[in-house]
């Protein structure tokens, strides 16, 4: 299958494009997927291409699991145009942390219950039109994503331009999304609240440069600015605020014979073990029985359960600022080793925002061509994140700024991912990919001084995906 280069191509000693080299250099750190290598390199195919991608994702501790399927078709039009249509469906099931209750020693423990629903399906449809000019590539994408509690319509435009005899390429991008967010209310689920509908939007600007250092080495750098506005909270998450809880009031503690304490972090005496109570009720199946039997639904009709739980247990809704500004910079180095027919890709990414969440990401991936169409790509990734300024596992009082969250995704933590990707090409028209990943997130993996977070947020996941690309 003949391909027309539209961006920087690395050449061999004779000045001709080395197909093995561009294949190894081009898909730097991208997951296997629908026409991933062609898209990364900016090649236009002269044939109709079809792709299928299947992924299985599972978290530890009976948490979330996801099954995703994606279909894609790419069709060339004339000499310069190309269209792509992609449809994705993923199904999420399991449980998600809702709130951290305190045990008898004042330590927080996660309470797992269905966050959005026991089973949630997301459908994504995207269409892309690309124009391949003389040393340039322009793409426009339109997409929509729908699920039980979320709807997003988005678009983006990207431009790549070759300069300096195609040794340098410049890239520019802009994306916009308008989202509707609500909680998919289920009266049969404990602690869920009636639906509240909200809106948010996101604008993303990016600029990048790629430079061929020599015939074996490429250096890339990009900067992205993201502005999000509107409802950015999680409608399912809650936080425990001690001062707002009846069960932790000095009067009630004294009445029940417990020792009054003012600082739960320096607690030396036992208090009410709310976490133990909910854990026991969950382990014995009482919570599930109340939900399945309709008792929870009946109670929700008779009483304002969210208001009562807030008064008794000090549960406050997840509340985040209505704006977020992020800066993300990415530096990528790719080097081809001719003696071993392999390419090493090294990524470093730094992200910072006005929520206090800054992160470092370091990733290595080694693409090794084994001959006869086989390629193996082991990789490792390290990620470390500083917690948001309004995050904590629980709160003794509502902060002066009014924002608070116990969402583990905004905690301080570190994570290590180990990856292995294997691909096999059958001629020029069919390629099979297999990808496996193990992810280990831990509070004490955070780089430097540990920020707000805790071992209760530690978990692991595994991911397996299989995909193929075919051309006709």
| Token pair recorded at residue 146 | 């729908």
Orientation angle between helical segments 295-302 and 286-293, nearest 10 degrees? 70
Tell me how far CA of residue 101 lies from CA of 269, 384, 410, in angstroms: 17, 26, 18
Cβ atoms of residues 443 and 406 within 8 Å: no
Which residue ranges in the chain fall short of pLDDT 50?
1-41, 114-117, 261, 265-267
By C-alpha distance, which of 408, 407, 393 is closest to 457?
A: 408
Taking domain 3-241+315-471, whether its CATH number is 1.10.287.130 is answered by no
Give the residue extent of every domain in the chain: 3-241+315-471
How far apart CA 362 and CA 357 sit, in angstroms, is 17
Cβ atoms of residues 138 and 174 within 8 Å: no
Cβ atoms of residues 400 and 439 within 8 Å: no
Q: Is 79 helix (H, G, I), strand (E, B) or coil?
A: coil
Position 27 scores a pLDDT of: 37
By C-alpha distance, which of 148, 242, 150, 152 is closest to 189?
A: 148
Position 298 scores a pLDDT of: 86
What angle (nearest 5°) sits at the alpha carbon of residue 431, between those of residues 430 and 436? 155
Label residues 404-435 b or e (16+ Cβ within 10 Å = b).
bbbbbebbbbbbbbebebbbbbeeeeebbbeb
Orientation angle between helical segments 286-293 and 274-283, nearest 10 degrees? 60
Position 49 scores a pLDDT of: 92
How far apart CA 405 and CA 240 sit, in angstroms, is 9
Position 24 scores a pLDDT of: 42
Residues in contact with 51: Cβ distance below 8 Å, sequence separation at least 6, in sequence order: 33, 34, 35, 70, 71, 72, 73, 74, 467, 468, 469, 470
Q: 369: which strand partners?
A: 375
How far apart CA 118 and CA 34 sit, in angstroms, is 29
How far apart CA 395 and CA 404 sit, in angstroms, is 8
How far apart CA 326 and CA 143 sit, in angstroms, is 23
How far apart CA 394 and CA 381 sit, in angstroms, is 30
| Token pair recorded at residue 171 | 């890239």
Label residues 291-319 b or e (16+ Cβ within 10 Å = b).
beeeebeeebeeeebbeebbeebbbbbbb
How far apart CA 429 and CA 434 sit, in angstroms, is 17
Is the Cα dihedral 367, 466, 332, 459 positive or negative?
negative
| Token pair recorded at residue 57 | 């994702």
Position 7 scores a pLDDT of: 28
8: part of which helix (H) or strand (E)? none
Question: Phi then psi for 6, rounded to 5 degrees?
Answer: -120, -15
| Token pair recorded at residue 87 | 């449809």
Q: Which residue has the tokens 């540990």?
A: 450
């Amino acid at each position: 299958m003949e391909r027309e280069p539209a961006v920087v191509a690395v050449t061999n000693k004779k000045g001709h494009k080395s197909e093995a080299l561009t294949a190894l250099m081009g898909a730097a750190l991208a997951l296997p997927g629908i026409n991933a290598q062609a898209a990364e390199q900016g090649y236009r195919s002269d044939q109709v291409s079809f792709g299928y991608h299947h992924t299985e994702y599972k978290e530890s501790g009976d948490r979330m699991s996801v099954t995703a399927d994606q279909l894609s078709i790419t069709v060339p039009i004339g000499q310069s145009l190309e269209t792509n249509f992609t449809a994705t469906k993923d199904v999420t099931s399991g449980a998600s942390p809702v709130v951290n209750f305190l045990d008898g020693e004042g330590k927080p423990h996660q309470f797992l219950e269905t966050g959005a629903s026991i089973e949630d399906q997301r459908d994504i449809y995207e269409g892309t039109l690309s124009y391949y000019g003389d040393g340039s590539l322009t793409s426009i994408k339109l997409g929509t994503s729908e699920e039980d509690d979320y709807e997003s319509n988005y678009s983006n435009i990207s431009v790549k331009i070759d300069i300096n005899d195609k040794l340098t390429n410049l890239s520019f991008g802009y994306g916009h999304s308008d989202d509707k967010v609500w909680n998919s209310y289920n009266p049969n689920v404990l602690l869920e609240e009636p639906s509240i509908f909200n809106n948010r939007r996101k604008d993303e600007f990016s600029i990048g440069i790629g430079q061929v250092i020599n015939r074996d080495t490429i250096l890339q750098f990009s900067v992205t600015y993201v502005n999000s506005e509107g409802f950015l909270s999680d409608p399912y998450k809650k936080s425990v605020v001690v001062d707002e809880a009846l069960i932790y009031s000095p009067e009630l503690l004294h009445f029940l014979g417990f020792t009054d304490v003012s600082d739960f972090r320096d607690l030396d005496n036992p208090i009410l073990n709310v976490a133990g109570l909910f854990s026991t009720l969950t382990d014995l199946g009482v919570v599930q029985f109340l939900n399945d039997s309709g008792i929870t639904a009946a109670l929700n009709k008779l009483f304002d359960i969210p208001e009562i739980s807030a008064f008794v247990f000090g549960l406050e809704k997840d509340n985040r600022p209505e704006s977020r500004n992020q800066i993300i910079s990415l530096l990528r180095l790719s080097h081809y080793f001719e003696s071993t027919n392999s390419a090493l890709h090294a990524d470093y990414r730094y992200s910072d925002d006005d929520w206090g969440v800054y992160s470092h990401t370091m990733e290595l991936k080694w693409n090794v061509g084994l001959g006869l169409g086989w390629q193996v790509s082991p990789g490792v990734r390290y990620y470390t994140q500083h917690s948001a300024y309004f995050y904590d596992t629980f709160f003794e009082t509502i902060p002066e700024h009014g924002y608070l969250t116990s969402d583990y995704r905004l905690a301080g933590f570190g994570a290590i991912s180990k990856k292995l990707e294997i691909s096999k090409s059958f001629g020029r028209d069919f390629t099979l990919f297999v990808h496996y990943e193990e992810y280990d997130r831990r509070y004490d993996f955070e780089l430097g001084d540990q920020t707000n977070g805790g071992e209760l947020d530690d978990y692991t996941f595994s991911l397996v995906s299989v995909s193929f690309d075919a051309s006709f």
